[in-house]
Amino acid sequence: MRLVVATCSVEYAGRLSAHLPSAVRLIMLKADGSVSVHSDDRAYKPLNWMTPPCTMTESDRTWTFANSKGETLTITLDEVHLDATQALGSEPGLRKDGVEAHLQELLAADPTTLEDGMRLVKREYPTDIGPVDLLCRDADGRAVAVEIKRRGEIDGVEQLCRYLERLDLDGRLRPVRGIFAAQLVKPQARVLATARGIRCVEVDYDELKGLRADELTLF
């Protein structure tokens, strides 16, 4: 990974145009070929970015990134304050908390809980941006990507959208639809999921375990 802190301006050209005037920003270039531009007040979300695969052309103090769709992201460096490169090594992946991991295990064992006729293809199905929790086939044989959360929020829906985008590049799977499963799906997440054509399913953890809530004891 390469991290550059620089006073820079950014131009995006594609389906629309966007301009970031000159200011001090963090530019992150990752080994997967992606680039993202961050400010100091937007938490983790970049101001602008380009996902892999994209190509980088460097000329003087101008970096131009282009993808297969013809979109370009041009960064003009006025002054570089920090330029550091660090190899991160292999990524072991996110370890889910106990409830979330167990939900995945239980739904993988009986995906018909999510939808009649559903069958499991693989848990932790790999994509080039990380594994989707479950890849299934529905009663009609269509591929279904399932993302599982304890609390279903907007971030989880956006994560599933990214997985669906990558999975749809595989002709053996396309078209892939999505299911967002959680113990509780927040209203904002449900609205976004519906807008993206993703089905939301709320699951009862205790019921999946074959227990009733009033049977749980401390000892």
For residue range 154-194, list pLDDT tens digits in order: 999 999 999 999 999 988 998 999 999 998 999 999 999 99
pLDDT in tens, 17-70: 899 999 999 999 998 889 999 998 876 789 999 988 899 999 889 999 999 889
Residue 186 corresponds to which amino acid?
K
Residue after which a domain boundary falls, among 85, 117, 134: 85
For 83-112, what is the mean pLDDT?
79
- Tell me what pLDDT residue 91 has: 67
Residue 91 falls within a domain, yes or no? Answer: no
User: For position 218, what pLDDT does the model report?
Assistant: 41
Cβ–Cβ < 8 Å for 78, 22: yes
Strand, helix or coil for residue 204: coil
Mean per-residue pLDDT of the chain:
88
Structural domain contains residue 92: no
**Residue 213: per-residue pLDDT:** 42
Clarify whether residues 17 and 74 are in a common domain. Answer: yes
Tokens for 33, please give them.
């070929």
Q: Three-state DSSP class for 148?
A: strand
Q: Is the pLDDT of residue 215 over 60?
A: no
Please say if the pLDDT value at position 92 is more than 80: no
Phi, psi of 164 (to 5 degrees): -60, -40
Cis peptide before 92 (omega within 30 of 0): no
Query: Rounded to whole angstroms, how far apart are CA atoms 55 and 34?
Result: 9
pLDDT of 171: 87
**Residues 171, 120 share a domain:** yes
Q: What is the pLDDT of residue 76?
A: 97
Q: What's 45's domain CATH number? A: 2.70.180.20
> Which residues, 6 or more positions from 78, have their beta carbon under 8 angstroms from its beta carbon?
6, 7, 8, 9, 22, 61
Output phi, psi for 134, to 5 deg.
-135, 140
pLDDT of residue 96: 54
219 pLDDT above the threshold of 50: no
Q: For residues 172 and 204, state if they share a domain.
A: yes
Q: How confident is the model at residue 94 (pLDDT cuts 50, 70, 90)?
A: low
170, with CB counted inside 10 A (0-12, 13-18, 19+), is exposed
What backbone phi and psi angles, to 5 degrees, belong to 94? -75, 130
Which residue(s) pair with 64 in the sheet? 57, 74
Using the 3D structure, point to which of 85, 120, 146 is the last residue of a domain: 85
- Kind and range of the H or E element at 23? strand 17-29
Dist. CA 162–CA 184, nearest whole Å: 21
Quote the domain boundaries for residue 160: 98-208
* Distance separating alpha carbons of residues 171 and 5, to the nearest angstrom: 40
Residue scoring higher pLDDT (216 or 197) = 197
